[in-house]
Amino acid sequence: MNNFTYFNPTKVHFGRESINKLGDLAQKTGSKALLMYGGGSIKNNGIYDKIIHQLAENSIEVVEYAGIKSNPVYQDVNSARDLAIKTNTDMIIAVGGGSVIDSAKIAALVVPEKMDAWDIMTGKTKPTKALPIITVLTLAATGSEMNQFAVLQNHEEKAKKGFGHPACYPKHSILDPELTYSVPKDYTAYGIVDLIAHALEAYFGDGECGIADRIVESIIKESIAFAPKVLNEPNNYDYRANIMWLATSALNGITTYGKTTGDWGVHDIGHVLSLLYDIPHGASLSIAYPAWLKLMKNKHEDKINRLGEEVFDCFQADDTISGFEGFFKAIGSPIRLSEINIGKEKHTEILKQMKLNKVSGYVNKLEEKNYPVLIDFMA
């Protein structure tokens, strides 16, 4: 097991009606908030009204930045920065899924020294401080609510990049499972795929740590058990609560403490697909993961076998991979490009983008010669 420093400063407020803590938490954090949210789901499901009420009751001034896109772009972050500077806001409240929270994290970094969001993502400028961030999670998927990472897209440069900084940990994250009742079936499924993918990225990372691997296996087993339940009964508190905490736990550090790093090659592949075709993040991963496992079948046979034994009660690597394919398909997430109308004519474009982005991963490094094989598996 490796040495490690356990650092996670985010205070998580989990549970029924934890949304009612927002006003008090905001009041203790600042006086004027930049409220960031997405394309309007929070107005349709009543979350917006609850938040505005909480903030008004606690005399928090609110400036709104709405319209963060799913698969968010750096330009929105720069615009949010300008608004925050102009209006002198002293904290950011992000209400949404990973796209909103990620945008809020980078906005929090660029405001204090008026930096450019993309320069931060590429490492060109190095931020040193950030505005405090409070998140109100509305979709269980990315784990962004309890980690230091953010992912943004730049369409001109054809890039989707991840970035991490200790100042990006939210100060508070409110995880109220009832806020996810309105997430439609498809995004509920994509969120489950994403959390399983995060667990697997850790599993196939570098370093040996038995407890980390056991946590991963448990996260995957529980997700597979709760997925059909939550899809059948989206307003069941217990089902939503379990999926929510599974998603947070899959990427808040506990799956890699004691190991060196996760792999993240499948996320690299998924980011190419989202970038080119605006595919929801989770859907890109249900296509990419089985293909990657097929490529790694010989290299990681023992580990894939063990995973199969633990999760699907099977003993062959092929059966484990079919197990994941069958599960993703059953919950309605695509496992082949053809299912989402990406035909053979697009393969050259995908290959070109994979080369341009140097799709690799940190541990099981992919090479250019692997790309056509992966594309064939994904087809």
State the residues that interact with ligand NZQ by CB under 6 A: 38-42, 45, 70-72, 96-100, 102, 138-139, 141-144, 147, 149-151, 179-180, 182-183, 187, 191, 194, 251, 267, 281-282
The DSSP element (H or E) to which 14 belongs, if any, is: strand 11-14
Residues in contact with Zn ion, counted by CB under 5 A, come to a total of: 1
Which residue lies nearer to Zn ion by CB, 111 or 250?
250
Q: Is residue 105 exposed (0-12), middle (13-18) or buried (19+ Cβ within 10 Å)?
A: buried
Alpha-carbon distance of 309 to 320, in angstroms, equals: 8
**Nearest distance in Å: CB 263, ligand NZQ:** 12
Binding mask 318-357 for Zn ion (x = CB under 5 A): ----------------------------------------
Alpha-carbon distance of 209 to 207, in angstroms, equals: 7
- Which residues inside 176-195 make contact with Zn ion, applying CB under 5 A? 194
For the chain, first and last CA: distance in Å?
Answer: 38
Residue 228 binds which of ligand NZQ, Zn ion, none (CB < 5-8 A, kind-dependent): none
Residue 262 binds which of Zn ion, ligand NZQ, none (CB < 5-8 A, kind-dependent): none
Residue 71 binds which of ligand NZQ, Zn ion, none (CB < 5-8 A, kind-dependent): ligand NZQ
User: Where do we find the tokens 């697997």?
Assistant: 200
Tokens describing residue 317: 């690597």
Is residue 201 close enough to count as binding Zn ion by CB under 5 A?
A: no
Q: What is each CA distance from 368 to 160, 267, 344, 355, 373, in whole angstroms?
A: 19, 16, 19, 7, 10
**Nearest distance in Å: CB 7, ligand NZQ:** 16
Q: What is each CA distance from 81 to 89, 137, 242, in whole angstroms?
A: 10, 21, 35
Residue 150 binds which of ligand NZQ, Zn ion, none (CB < 5-8 A, kind-dependent): ligand NZQ
Q: Could you list the residues that contact Zn ion (CB under 5 A)?
A: 194
